[in-house]
Amino acid sequence: MENNATMLESLFEKAEDFGKSSLELVKLKTIDKTSDIVSSVIPYSVVFILIASFMIFLNLGLAFWLGDILGKTYFGFFVIAAFYILTGSIFYLFFHKRLKKYICNSLINQMLK
C-alpha cells in the first residue's frame, strides 16, 4: 500500500512538473511570436510615417501651386480633395477585397511562422 502511495505521489510530482514546463513553453512561444510581430511592424511603421510626411508636404505644395494657377488658394485644395475622393473610391471598388485578403493572409502567416 505504501508503494502505491509513493508511486502516486511521484506521478503527481511529474504531472506538476509537466504542467509547469508546458506553461513555461507557452509563455516562451508567446514572447517569441510577439517579438517577431513587433519587430516586423516597427520598420514598416517608420517607413509609413516617412512616406506619409512626404505625401502631406507634396499635397500641400500641389494645392498651393494649383491655387495660384486657378486664382484662389482654396481651389487648389478642392482639386486635390476631389482627386483623393476619386482615387479612394476607385481603390475601394476594385482593390479593397484583394488588399484585405492579402493583409489577413500576411498576419496569419506571421503568427503561424
Q: How many domains are contained in the chain?
A: 1
pTM: 0.59
Query: How confident is the model over 75-98, as pLDDT tens digits?
Result: 999 999 999 999 999 988 988 888
Query: How confident is the model over 14-47, as pLDDT tens digits?
Result: 888 888 899 999 988 888 888 878 887 888 899 9
Q: What would the mean pLDDT of 4-21 be, rounded to a whole number? A: 82
- What pLDDT score was predicted for residue 99? 85
- What pLDDT score was predicted for residue 2? 67
Q: Which residues of 44-66 are buried (b: 16+ CB within 10 A; e: fewer)?
A: eeeeeeeeeeeeeeebeeebeeb
- What pLDDT score was predicted for residue 68? 95
Consecutive H or E run containing 35: helix 2-70
Confidence category of residue 1, pLDDT binned at 50, 70, 90: low
Q: Which domain holds residue 49?
A: 2-112
Residue 5: φ, ψ to 5°: -65, -40
Cβ–Cβ under 8 Å, residues 76 and 64: yes
Confidence category of residue 11, pLDDT binned at 50, 70, 90: confident
> Within a 13 Å sphere around the CA of 89, how many CA atoms are in the beta-carbon half?
6
- What pLDDT score was predicted for residue 50? 96
Which 8-state DSSP code applies to residue 72?
Answer: S
